[in-house]
Amino acid sequence: MASVADQVSGISVPAAADAPARAPAAAVASSSITLPAVGERELRLDLFRGLALWLIFIDHLPTSLLTWLTLRNYGFSDATEIFIFISGYTAAFVYGRALLEQGFVVSAARILRRAWQIYVAHVFLFTIFLAEISYVATHFENPLYSEEMGIMDFLKQPDVTIVQALLLRFRPVNMDVLPLYIVLMLALPLILVSMRWRADLTLALSVLLYAATWEFDLYFSSYPSGVWMFNPLAWQLLFVFGAWCALGGARRMSRILSSNITLWVSIVYLIFAFFVTLTWYVPQLGHVLPRRLEQWMYPIDKTDLDVLRFAHFLALAAITVRFLPNDWPGLKSPWLKPLMLCGQHSLEIFCLGVFLAFAGHFILAEVAGGAALHALISLCGIVIMSSVAWLISWYKHSADKSARKGARGNADLAGGG
């Protein structure tokens, strides 16, 4: 399982060795996109993707002390926005290069292989979920929750449910991000080809699709009823925007990003969002907000990526890019290493996080834990995620080493690689 971020980093040695030779060729291929040189690693991407993974894990656990540290309590957007944006950025970075160097067919095949990996990961997580829910259904019968237990009625017809799950139409709570990611990856070959042709036009089309989604209420239906929790037709905007930034958009925006007007607009908006969020937790403040504003603003829709959420993400990103330069020495600090490692193996760590959240729920339910156990579970989860990320890095590093010694064929023979 080659992770996207690893390929960005150029840890894989043969690719890095090839790069200088190929770079001129890429530059010659005339196109409207530009790629930064290989080796110019965006450590900030790893850092923030790692952070997003930690926050998603904590948000998936029941509310606790640590939940108050997560982003969604301080504004409109949350870790999902960061995750999807960075995924778009890194995917475009890696496969955009593949498109320029290897052509459409090969790059599309690589993208589809990646989408397949994500799909398999999703099905694996669904199996675990099924095990958990079956256990609860057989062991738990509290009259207080006789209504809520009705959710397990789907166990009565597993044939339909499991097929619907394989079609990504039946999805348990907290398992909505990977299906979104799969759909976005399936669209990526098209997005990249379009970007190579006219990057700005592609972004404009993406905005248009987003607007059409809102105007005509487009959605993906799910089973047994309802819609996808994250509407891919709306969330593609973040993904395409990430891709656009990776393929030279960020560079072209640098003047806007460094302007003081952008800075102040962002700061004012973040403070506004913080204040609005505060009124959710401190109801006494509720009357300070004008009712007109409330009526216009609510509900802040997560399914269709509300404009307020998107704007909040943009403001956060603008401020981050400005005050955290890529050459900030702190990025190499060992203290941030666990976050970086998690960010570099995002798919594996994301799945692990979903699994750990299931397990955490389960332990809390069985042991009837208090706040202390709760905090302990959260911390253990983060430690496990970081350790596994480190283990994957170590394994890949040593696998690469042996590959250099000429043992490369083995993995292919075994059907891996």
Partner 1 sequence: MRSGLTFGPALGLALLALVAGASVVRAEEVETCPVPASMLSTESRLSKVADAVNDGRALDILVIGSRSSSIGGSQDGAYPARLQAALKDKLPQLAVNISVELQPKQTAEETVSGFVKLLETKKPTLVIWQTGTVDAMRSVDPDDFHAAVDQGVTALQNAGADVILMNLQYSPRTETMISGSPYMDNIRAVAQEHDVPLFDRFSIMRQWNEQGDFDLFSAVHGPELARRVHDCIGRALSNFIFDAAHLGPAQQN
Q: Residues in the site for partner 1, rule: CB under 8 A?
A: 62-65, 68, 129, 132-133, 136, 139-152, 172-174, 217, 219, 222, 224-227, 229, 282-284, 286-287, 291, 294-295, 298-303, 357-358, 361, 364-365, 368, 370-371
Q: Given the complex with partner 1, which of 67 and 320 has the nearer CB atom?
A: 67
Minimum Å gap between C-beta 283 and partner 1 is: 5
Q: Which residues pair with 227 in a beta bridge?
A: 221
Q: Given the complex with partner 1, which of 150 and 406 has the nearer CB atom?
A: 150
Q: What token pair was written down for 94?
A: 């890696």
Closest CA to 56 of 28, 86, 26: 86
Minimum Å gap between C-beta 50 and partner 1 is: 24
With tokens 């202390």, the residue in question is 372
Question: Contact 345/49 with Cβ under 8 angstroms?
Answer: no
Taking the C-alpha atoms of residue 337 and residue 386, their distance in angstroms, rounded to an integer, is 9
Minimum Å gap between C-beta 286 and partner 1 is: 7
Q: What token pair was written down for 153?
A: 């009625």
Question: Contact 235/242 with Cβ under 8 angstroms?
Answer: no
Q: Given the complex with partner 1, which of 272 and 390 has the nearer CB atom?
A: 272
Q: Given the complex with partner 1, which of 373 and 388 has the nearer CB atom?
A: 373
Q: Given the complex with partner 1, which of 200 and 217 has the nearer CB atom?
A: 217
Taking the C-alpha atoms of residue 365 and residue 136, their distance in angstroms, rounded to an integer, is 10
Burial (Cβ within 10 Å: 0-12, 13-18, ≥19) of residue 113: exposed
Minimum Å gap between C-beta 230 and partner 1 is: 12
Q: Given the complex with partner 1, which of 362 and 394 has the nearer CB atom?
A: 362
φ/ψ bin of 248: left (φ > 0), alpha (ψ from -120 to 50), beta (otherwise)? left
Minimum Å gap between C-beta 384 and partner 1 is: 19
Question: Contact 231/200 with Cβ under 8 angstroms?
Answer: no
Taking the C-alpha atoms of residue 217 and residue 227, their distance in angstroms, rounded to an integer, is 11
φ/ψ bin of 415: left (φ > 0), alpha (ψ from -120 to 50), beta (otherwise)? left
Minimum Å gap between C-beta 362 and partner 1 is: 9
Q: Given the complex with partner 1, which of 144 and 414 has the nearer CB atom?
A: 144
Minimum Å gap between C-beta 315 and partner 1 is: 22
